[in-house]
């Protein structure tokens, strides 16, 4: 089921989300709704607060617009390492329509997260994939891409 995307200045976009503690069918259904909403928008990532849900959860598919869908679900994600090297990307946000901002983020990160069943995972990500994850992870702390200084091309 597609959900309504919250648009700035919706208050939930600026709050820190609560950890997910219940790994059940409702969580799986929420993740599926988020993926359906993200693809329809069409976006590359969507965080729970963007559909009005106070939960540390986001979904992404960094490459689906270039080929085969590869959806990923991240529950209670934490960045445990980040490179000192940065890379600029122009980012858009489904909650801030018609606005693009070029910002720099770490080029590589290591993320620790739980899956929909509660199992923990840890993996390194780089390039655009790392940028999408950092963008969505920021949403869980009420941080938006417009909060970063814009960089020149």
Residues with active-site annotation: 136
Among the listed residues 42, 27, 56, 8, the one whose alpha carbon sits nearest the alpha carbon of residue 116: 27
Please give the C-alpha separations between residue 80 and each of 68, 83, 140, in angstroms, as whole numbers.
29, 11, 15
Secondary structure of residue 139 in the 3-state scheme: helix
Answer whether the bond into residue 116 is a cis peptide, omega within 30°. Answer: no
**46 Cβ contact partners less than 8 Å away, ≥ 6 residues apart:** 5, 34, 35, 37, 38, 58, 59, 60, 94, 136
Please give the C-alpha separations between residue 116 and each of 11, 31, 37, 61, 140, in angstroms, as whole numbers.
26, 8, 18, 16, 17
Structure tokens at 118: 């509660």
């Amino acid at each position: 089921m597609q959900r309504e995307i919250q648009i700035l200045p919706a208050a939930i976009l600026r709050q820190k989300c609560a950890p997910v503690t219940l790994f059940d069918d409702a969580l799986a259904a929420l993740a599926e709704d988020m993926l359906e909403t993200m693809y329809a928008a069409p976006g590359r990532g969507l965080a729970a607060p963007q559909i009005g849900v106070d939960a540390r959860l986001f979904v992404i598919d960094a490459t689906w617009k270039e080929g085969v869908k590869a959806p990923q679900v991240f529950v209670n994600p934490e960045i445990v390492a980040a490179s000192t090297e940065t890379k600029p990307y122009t980012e858009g946000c489904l909650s801030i329509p018609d606005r693009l901002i070029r910002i720099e983020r770490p080029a590589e990160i290591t993320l620790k997260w739980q899956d929909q069943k509660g199992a923990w995972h840890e993996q390194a990500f780089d390039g655009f994939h790392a940028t999408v994850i950092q963008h969505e992870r920021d949403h869980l702390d009420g941080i938006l891409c417009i909060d970063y200084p814009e960089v020149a091309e």
